[in-house]
Amino acid sequence: MAKFLLLAFRNIFRNRRRTLMTLFMVGGGVAGLLLAGGYFAFMTRGLRESTIRNGLGHLQIFTADHFNRDEVRVLDTGIDNWRQVAANVKTGGHVRGVAPRIEFYGMVSNGEKSSVFMGSAVDPEAEKSLGFISNVVSGRDLDIKPSGEVEALVGAGLAKSMNVKVGDGLTLLSMTSDGALNGVDVQIVGIVNSGIAAMDARSLCITLASAQRLLQSDRVTNLVVGLDATENTNQVAAGLAPRLRGASQQLVLKKWIDLATYYKQVNSMFNGIFLFMGVIVFFMVLMSSVNTLLMSMFERTREIGTMLAMGTPRAWIVALFMVEAALLGSMGAIVGIVGGNLVGWLINASGLHMPPPPGYTNSILFHVLHVPAQMIGSSLLVIVSLAFASILPAVRASRLRIAEALSHV
C-alpha cells in the first residue's frame, strides 16, 4: 500500500510544470472559496452581533398572547409582573442582564407638522448594562437618572422630516391602555442612525418610565435577555424555559435567531452565493483536471500496458489514477488554504472598506474570517472534484488493450 501511494505521489511530479499549473488552478479555487466564504462569514457574524447588540438581545420573553392575538388596547398582551420575571431570569447562568421594553406607536408633532412614529421605550441603565448601543450620531444617549424633562432619541430620517435637531422639543400623542388619548412633550437629546433608512424614518425612543406614564400602564411588551456569549443561547434557553412555566401569565421564550428575519435572509443569500461559487469551482476543477489527467494517461500508455502485462489488476490502475488525483487535490487544497489565508491576512491588514449595500448608509469593512470548517469543506470539494475528474482517464487506462498499449509510441 505504501509503495502504491509512493508510485502515485511520484507520478504527480513527472511533469512538474503541468502539476504546478494544476496546483495553482486547484489552489486558486480553494483560495477563492475561502476568501469569499471568509468575507461572508465576517458579514454574517457582524450582522448577527450587531443585530443582537442593537437591541434584539440573545433571548426575548413575551406573553403567549402577544403571538396569539392582536392587541385590542395598548399593552393588553404585555407582561404584568415583569420585575419578578426579570429577577428570576437574572439568577440563571451566562445571563448578563434583563432589559424591559415597550413597543408602541402614535403621532409626533413639532407644532407645524405631524408624522407617525414607531416608538420603543427602554430602561437606559439596563440597556447600557447589556452593552446595547443606540448608534447616536448627534447629541447623547438617554440619561440613566431621570430628570424633569422627558428625553427622546429620534431617528435621523424622522428628525429630518420633522425638521428638528438636538435640543428641540416634540409632542408625542398615543392611546393609553384605557383607550384614551394622552400626550407628552419630549426633548430631543440625540439623533440615531441604525443604518437602515426605512427604520430611521419612523423610530423614536423614550425611557420606560416616560412611556408607562404616556400609556398609563405598568406592563412591558417584552423582556430582552443579554448573555455573555451568543454561543450560549441554546444552552440558556433550554435551562430558562422550564423556569418560566411557573409565572402567572403564560410566557414564551424566543431566541434571537427566531426574531432576526433580516439576518436569516442575508445568511440564506450568502449561503446560496457560496454554494453557487462552490459549484462553479467544482466544475472548473473538474473540466480542467480531466484534460490534465487524460494527457498524463496518454503519456503513460506503454507503462500502463506493462503493468497490466505483469498481471496488475485493472482495479489497481483505476485506483492508481484516482489516488494520484486525490493527492493532487490534497496538495492543491494545501496551496489554496495557505494562499487564501495569506491573501485574507493581507486584506485584513489593509483595512479596506466596501461601499454600503442597498438600504444602508454605512460602508462595510472588508474583512475576511479564517473559518476552519470552510477550509475543510473547500478542500474536500476539490479533492472530490479531482477524484471525479480522474474517473474517465482511470477507466480508459484500465481498459487499454495490453498488446496495443505495449506498442504505443
Partner 1 sequence: MKELVNVEGVSRRFSLDNGQARNPAHSYVTALSDASLRVTTGEFLAISGPSGSGKTTLLNLIGCIDQPSSGRILVDSVDTSRLSPGNMATLRREKIGFVFQTFNLIPVFTAAENVEYPLLIKGVASRERRSRVAEALDGVGLSARANQRPDLLSGGERQRVAVARAIVHRPSLVLADEPTANLDTHNATQLIDLMHGLNRSLGLTFIFSTHDARLLEHTERIVRLCDGEVVSDNSTGGGSRG
Residues that bind partner 1 (CB under 8 A): 3-4, 6-7, 10-11, 14, 302-303, 305-314, 316, 401-403, 406-407
Of 173 and 406, which has the nearer Cβ to partner 1? 406
How many Å from the N-terminal Cα to the C-terminal Cα in the chain? Answer: 30
Of 23 and 184, which has the nearer Cβ to partner 1? 23
For the bound state, the minimum distance from the C-beta of residue 3 to partner 1, rounded and expressed in Å, comes to: 6
Of 152 and 317, which has the nearer Cβ to partner 1? 317
Of 89 and 394, which has the nearer Cβ to partner 1? 394
Q: Computed over its alpha carbons, how large is the radius of gyration of the chain?
A: 31
Number of helices (H) and strands (E) in the chain: give both, helices first.
16, 12
For the bound state, the minimum distance from the C-beta of residue 391 to partner 1, rounded and expressed in Å, comes to: 20
The size of the chain, in residues, is: 409
Of 3 and 145, which has the nearer Cβ to partner 1? 3
What residue has cell string 479555487? 29
Give the angle subtended at the CA of 176 by the CAs of 173 and 180, to the nearest 5°: 85
Of 180 and 409, which has the nearer Cβ to partner 1? 409
For the bound state, the minimum distance from the C-beta of residue 12 to partner 1, rounded and expressed in Å, comes to: 9
For the bound state, the minimum distance from the C-beta of residue 288 to partner 1, rounded and expressed in Å, comes to: 24
Nearby residues of 357 by Cβ (< 8 Å), 6 or more positions away: 364
Nearby residues of 322 by Cβ (< 8 Å), 6 or more positions away: 387, 390, 391, 394
Q: Which long-range contacts link 147-152 to residues 24+ away (Cβ below 8 Å)?
A: 149/186, 149/187, 150/184, 150/185, 150/186, 150/187, 150/206, 150/207, 150/210, 151/186, 151/187, 151/189, 151/206, 151/207, 151/210, 152/186, 152/187, 152/188, 152/189, 152/204, 152/205, 152/206
Identify the bridge partners of residue 115 per DSSP, sorted by sequence position. Answer: 108
For the bound state, the minimum distance from the C-beta of residue 396 to partner 1, rounded and expressed in Å, comes to: 16
For the bound state, the minimum distance from the C-beta of residue 262 to partner 1, rounded and expressed in Å, comes to: 57
Bridge pairing between strands 150-155 and 181-192:
parallel
Task: Tell which residue, 103, 136, 127, 133, has the closest CA to residue 226.
Answer: 127
For the bound state, the minimum distance from the C-beta of residue 230 to partner 1, rounded and expressed in Å, comes to: 52
Of 71 and 303, which has the nearer Cβ to partner 1? 303
Of 24 and 316, which has the nearer Cβ to partner 1? 316
